[in-house]
Chain A
Amino acid sequence: MSINWYKFSAPASFYGLAGRLAPWFAWAAALLTVVGLYLGFFVAPTDFQQGEAYRVIFIHVPAAWMSMFIYLVMAAWAAIGLAFNTRLSFMMARALAPTGAMFTFVALWTGAFWGKPMWGAWWVWDARLTSELILLFLYVGIMALWAAIDDPRRGDKAGALLALIGAINVPIIYFSVQWWNTLHQGSSIKPTGSSMDEVMLAGMLIMAFAAWFYTAAVAFVRVRRIILERERHTEWVKHVLESA
């Protein structure tokens, strides 16, 4: 047998590592969420302009940050996979996408909840919301492509290429939407960043870290499932499944 064992062994060892790390990340995420929500909903002062409704930003802003961050991380894994042909990187990209789409959706949803008291409408074509919407389309496109391709090798690379060209395009899309927004004199009400309380900032940062740990934990769990599925014919997976 002269199969390249290097390529085959990487997912096998990572399977164990991911399994050991996932619970820790999940606990960290839970803990930080509790602290962050406590700060956000009980400690942070009521905004004199927006009342209590503004507190949704403790979920909205970290979700929006994560949605873009995860897309970039996913594209980075895709680039590594294409450059070095490492199968684990493609699996990581696949494991991240659903969480990224989820955060994009959460950002849009909470944005609507925030928008209602702020702008008096559930949806306004604000530059940020519009960019998030297009980001959601990009996530959906990649996941649809993965779903349509049965062959894992082709799917990995095709999705990676799409993620890459998407990542090159994301800043341009973001800029063009900003441009479009100013051009059309839309409802470009900026969130009141002037009186950003230190507690508020701390709350948002903690929630962002919570989201990060959550993403990692979920991605690890998901990548383990992908590894098992892909390698189900190998000896080590049979061993794992029998001992379980």
Chain B
Amino acid sequence: MNPHPVLSVHGLACARGDRTLFTDLGFELAGGELLMVQGGNGQGKTSLLRLLTGLSGPVAGEVRWRGEAIAKSREAFHRDMAYLAHANGIKEDLTPLENLRFQAGLAGRGFDTDAAEQALRKLGLARCLDLPARVLSFGQRRRVALAGLLIASALLWIMDEPLTGLDVRGVALVESLLREHLQRGGMVVMTTHQALTLDGASVRTLQVGRREDA
């Protein structure tokens, strides 16, 4: 086990309707580590990620950030955390740059236009800076959301299927982003159905729900 876990989860239980998805789930995560959440459809991967973000509350157990329950230190936790959900959180009527600006404002962060443009360029959106997000393809919107993740400069990334809708180059890009983030001491909790090559990074896996034997 890690000497200094930053994110720790204790005895977590989750129910959807009257189905119990998982009980007594626990893990610890320290800087520079990536946790790959595995499990079949409907086994509670997304539910687990939402519990970790604090969007929903567990039936039992708790999530701790730097040793404190996130329900108590919500503000500090949300300053350090960025969540890439299934939905991109991109407003269709705003340009990518405007989207990032409002995201920063809503997260209570300062906004550096140059840094944001740089992030968008890095994700291959150099030609889309002034277009409304409506005209962007699904994969391009995903890239805008990823750019938002980059400039959020959060310690913990929680990513729900970040590779959905991305082409081969997009996947490679995400891999390099993840590696950089981990090298800087960042942490990642993510789910994905696609293969990911993260050589050199410390990757752990967590199985959610029953194993897929049937």
Contact = CB atoms under 8 A, between A and B. Distances in A.
Interface string A1-41: 11110000000000000000000000000000000000000
B25 to A, nearest CB: 10
Contacts of A3: 13, 23, 59-60
- Chain A, interface size category, equals 10 to 19
Contacts, number: 23
A2 B17 contact: no
Interface residues of B, number: 11
A105 to B, nearest CB: 32
A35 to B, nearest CB: 44
A1 B24 contact: yes
Interface in B52-81: 59-61
A1 B20 CA distance: 12
Interface in A200-244: 230, 232-233
Interface string B16-50: 11101001100000000000000000000000000
Contacts of B16: 151
A3 B59 CA distance: 8
A12 to B, nearest CB: 15
A198 interface: no
A230 B18 contact: yes
A152 interface: yes
A52 B27 CA distance: 75
B17 A1 contact: no
A1 B23 CA distance: 7
A229 to B, nearest CB: 9
Contacts of B20: 233
Which residue, of A1, A3, A233, has the highest number of chain B Cβ atoms within 10 A? A3
B11 interface: yes
Nearest to B15: A153
A2 B25 CA distance: 10
A2 B24 contact: yes
Contacts of A233: 18, 20
Contacts of A150: 17
B60 A4 contact: yes
Given A2-B11, A3-B59, A3-B60, A151 B17 contact: yes
B61 A2 contact: yes
21 contacts: A1-B23, A1-B24, A2-B11, A2-B13, A2-B23, A2-B24, A2-B60, A2-B61, A3-B13, A3-B23, A3-B59, A3-B60, A4-B59, A4-B60, A150-B17, A151-B16, A152-B17, A152-B18, A232-B18, A233-B18, A233-B20
Interface of A: 1-4, 150-152, 230, 232-233
Given A2-B24, A152-B17, 19 more contacts: A1-B23, A1-B24, A2-B11, A2-B13, A2-B23, A2-B60, A2-B61, A3-B13, A3-B23, A3-B60, A4-B59, A4-B60, A150-B17, A151-B16, A151-B17, A152-B18, A232-B18, A233-B18, A233-B20
